[in-house]
Chains A and B, each alone.
Chain A
Amino acid sequence: AQSVTQLDSQVPVFEEAPVELRCNYSSSVSVYLFWYVQYPNQGLQLLLKYLSGSTLVKGINGFEAEFNKSQTSFHLRKPSVHISDTAEYFCAVSEIGGQTGANNLFFGTGTRLTVIP
């Protein structure tokens, strides 16, 4: 069975500092990986996704994530955060060859990133 673990429920960081949000998953098969961001009073928005190819994936707003198959991780990073990055970040996993659509998409519990001026 799939599971997604986001160990850090809250991450405070000063403006212009680097940040890493951790995501680990467990699955018996190959997976697609996603990061979503949720700004206050909004729905989730796709930040980036890993489907195949290069393990370093670049997304919107200067974020990037690296897929590490041996460590079953997909950590999200940004070298310098802005106040506007304050939001909730969700890691999600779907199994390749599994059901299509949301039936096959498993979310972590989220990490709240707070950027301190």
Chain B
Amino acid sequence: ETGVTQTPRHLVMGMTNKKSLKCEQHLGHNAMYWYKQSAKKPLELMFVYNFKEQTENNSVPSRFSPECPNSSHLFLHLHTLQPEDSALYLCASSQLTGNSPLHFGNGTRLTVT
């Protein structure tokens, strides 16, 4: 149990589908993040939420749409994805202090067909 739970663990979707990834943290943290992990690339920070407010969108295509209804839950809504969007999507949370480490979920393995 990592304290950060992601569902589903695996997702296969066609390019015309709409799906959502869910993340929940039970650690009392006030910041949550979405990362994309692709083979042979550094982790890519996609979205940052501090106290439910989005503070960062690192040039992510609009086919990815985040939602943070409260400080414990984070969603990533997906629509009209491309095959190159296939990757492991990781959710993380932390306290908003300079030396606070990130706590990661186990990720959702997304395959776009």
* Residue positions of A touching B, CB distance < 8 A: 9, 32, 34, 36, 41-46, 49, 51, 90, 94, 96-98, 100-110
Alpha-carbon distance A32/B107, docked complex (angstroms): 25
Contact B40 A109 (CB under 8 A): yes
Interface of A is mostly: mixed
- Quick check: which of B14-22, B68-76, B79-87, B90-98 contacts chain A, the rest being far away? B90-98
Neighbouring B residues of A94 by C-beta, 8 Å: 98-99
Contact A43 B99 (CB under 8 A): no
The A/B interface has a contact count, at CB < 8 Å, of: 71
- Of chain B, the residue at the smallest CB distance from A104 is B98
Contact A34 B101 (CB under 8 A): yes
Closest CB pairs A-B (n = 4): A43-B104, A44-B104, A107-B43, A102-B33
Alpha-carbon distance A34/B103, docked complex (angstroms): 12
Neighbouring B residues of A46 by C-beta, 8 Å: 101-103
**Interface residue B62 (Cβ < 8 Å from any Cβ of A):** no
Alpha-carbon distance A103/B50, docked complex (angstroms): 11
Given contacts A41-B106, A46-B101, contact A107 B42 (CB under 8 A): yes
Contact A44 B102 (CB under 8 A): yes
Contact B90 A43 (CB under 8 A): yes
Contact B45 A103 (CB under 8 A): yes
Alpha-carbon distance A93/B39, docked complex (angstroms): 21
Q: How far is the CB of A88 from chain B (nearest CB, A)?
A: 10
Most chain B beta carbons < 10 A, residue from A43, A46, A105, A110: A43
